[in-house]
């Protein structure tokens, strides 16, 4: 197998002795001039497209690592642009993601591990809702989904986090948080220090209080507009129905960690 020797900014490729060649995935018959090798793969492909006739595209084993590295860099640049993370933070997240996953996909249990160990979350329902919100419409997370979800989870604006929390609390996805959903979420967060009956009565009273505070149109349920208006007026209501977001101290610790071992 041949290799491409780099000379300064130009890349000179020796004659090939196999049927698959070049980072542009074209066969030797339509191989570009040497000057094209100084350009990135996407540019080379665009230029070569005008030279291609009826040849099929074939994958070059020699240049596959280069292609994969190019795609990886492109993906990381997109993640940096679409999130609130710095370049260093994205690289750190990728390291953690690779430690957790097999085959580049994050499963539900992996997310529970991160949320439990790193952010002291214990409510299985809330953790599952966080995972499903980030993974939608699928059932696993790739790295861009993980980074975008954690961007809101760790560093989101108030508007982003209002949407994030509301979608967790809206259990059936109908656009409203109803009394039954409020009761179920609050019940799962209450400490069992009293009888079941007394605890449930206390939760019902709390639900009534929250509805009176948030239900602006007085229809007995909390819409996204109701919730957003209430939280904008009083940010402490953001997590009124359960802990969905980490504390600033845990965020700082998570972003400073180099590996997951510190959480074990």
Helices 108-119 and 87-100 meet at what angle, rounded to 10?
120
pLDDT at 102: 73
Phi/psi for 231 (5° steps) reads -70, -40
pLDDT in tens, 121-163: 988 889 999 999 999 888 899 999 999 999 999 999 999 999 9
Q: Which residue has the tokens 């995972």?
A: 131
The residues with which 3 forms a beta bridge, in sequence order, are: none
CA distance 57 to 191: 63
Q: Which residues of the chain have pLDDT under 50?
A: 1-40, 44, 47-59, 61, 262-264
Residues in the chain: 264
pLDDT in tens, 206-222: 999 999 999 988 899 99
Other beta carbons within 10 angstroms of residue 7's beta carbon come to: 9
CA distance 82 to 60: 32
pLDDT at 232: 95
């Amino acid at each position: 197998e041949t290799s491409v020797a780099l000379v300064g900014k130009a890349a000179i490729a020796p004659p090939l002795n196999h049927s698959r060649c070049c980072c542009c995935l074209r066969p030797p018959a339509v191989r570009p001039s040497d000057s094209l090798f100084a350009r990135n793969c996407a540019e080379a492909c665009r230029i070569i497209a005008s030279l291609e006739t009826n040849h099929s595209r074939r994958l070059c084993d020699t240049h596959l690592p280069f292609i994969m590295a190019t795609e990886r860099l492109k993906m990381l640049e997109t993640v940096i642009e679409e999130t609130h993370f710095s370049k260093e933070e994205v690289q750190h997240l990728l390291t953690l993601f690779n430690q957790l996953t097999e085959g580049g996909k994050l499963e539900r249990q992996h997310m529970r591990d991160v949320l439990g160990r790193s952010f002291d979350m214990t409510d299985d329902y809330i953790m599952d809702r966080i995972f499903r919100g980030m993974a939608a419409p699928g059932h696993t997370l790739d790295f861009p989904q993980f980074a975008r979800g954690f961007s809101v989870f760790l560093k989101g604006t108030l508007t982003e986090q209002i949407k994030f929390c509301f979608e967790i609390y809206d259990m059936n996805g109908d656009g409203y948080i109803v009394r039954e959903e409020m009761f179920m979420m609050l019940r799962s967060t209450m400490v069992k220090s009293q009888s079941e009956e007394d605890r449930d009565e206390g939760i019902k009273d709390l639900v009534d209080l929250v509805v009176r505070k948030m239900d602006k149109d007085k229809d007995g349920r909390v819409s996204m507009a109701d919730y957003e208006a209430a939280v904008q007026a009083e940010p402490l209501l953001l997590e009124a129905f359960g802990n969905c977001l980490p504390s600033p101290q845990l965020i700082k610790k998570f972003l400073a960690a180099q590996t997951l071992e510190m959480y074990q």
